[in-house]
Amino acid sequence: MYQEYIATANRLFIRDGKFTIGKVLNVHLSQRTTKTIANFLCKIPGVGSRKHQERRAHKKLAELEQAGKLLAVVTQNIDGLHQAAGSEQVYELHGSVHRNYCEKCGKFYDLDHILHTTGVPRCDCGGVIKPDVVLYEEALNDRVIDGAVNAIAQADLLIVGGTSLNVWPAAGLINYFRGDRLALINKSPVARDLAAGLVITDPIGEVLSQL
């Protein structure tokens, strides 16, 4: 999850001795260090390549959607693994490293373009290309939030998996759930005290692969 990316990033940049995570992912600093952000994001395991090894959980969720049993996936991840596994209705709360846009004209660029750029990535029009990820001090995308809230509110069963619910406002989206079947699947205890009908403390991939 996104908080795990942040923990990984902290270790990477403390080791590198160049930046703190707050500086690297700060929206104001990003205007001058877009290449640094791109390099940072691609150091995170599973992000820097489209040759993903889709995990069991991602594949199972995609299968459930294709079978008409899953309404949507709401994720804090920025790695595109859900789409790579076949999921179509995915609400990426923190954006995706695979989408990059010119801040001047809005032209789209993929991750490969950013990785193979020397210096600050720039568009043909001269504008700076920024990864479509939510940085510190940036608000979440309203359209994505609305879609996620509507999907959660319509669900009969809500599966919260692979997250300790430490990151807000994402953790608060559970409050929109109106169904009566809540399942928590995580290898460690979650941060919130929720009245879940089912709590499983095992890796979500192992659990979902048995369905």
How far, in Å, CA of 24 to CA of 27, rounded? 9
Report which of residues 123 and 54 the model is more confident about: 123
What are 116's two structure tokens? 């193979």
pLDDT at residue 20 greater than cutoff 60 = no
Catalytic residue among 58, 82, 94, 98: 94
- Mean of per-residue pLDDT scores for the chain: 78
Element (H, E) at 97: strand 95-102
58 included as an active-site residue: no
Q: What is the pTM of this model?
A: 0.76
DSSP 51: -
Question: Cβ contacts of residue 46 below 8 Å, gap of 6+?
Answer: 52, 79, 81
Interval 32-59 mean pLDDT: 58
φ, ψ of residue 161 in degrees (nearest 5): -140, 150
pLDDT at residue 44 greater than cutoff 70 = no
Interval 118-143 mean pLDDT: 86
Element (H, E) at 36: helix 34-43
Residues 29, 14 contacting (CB under 8 angstroms):
no
The reported pLDDT for the residue numbered 150 is 96
Residue 94, CA atoms < 13 Å, CB-side half-sphere = 22
Give the model confidence (pLDDT) of 180-194 as tens digits. 899 999 888 776 667
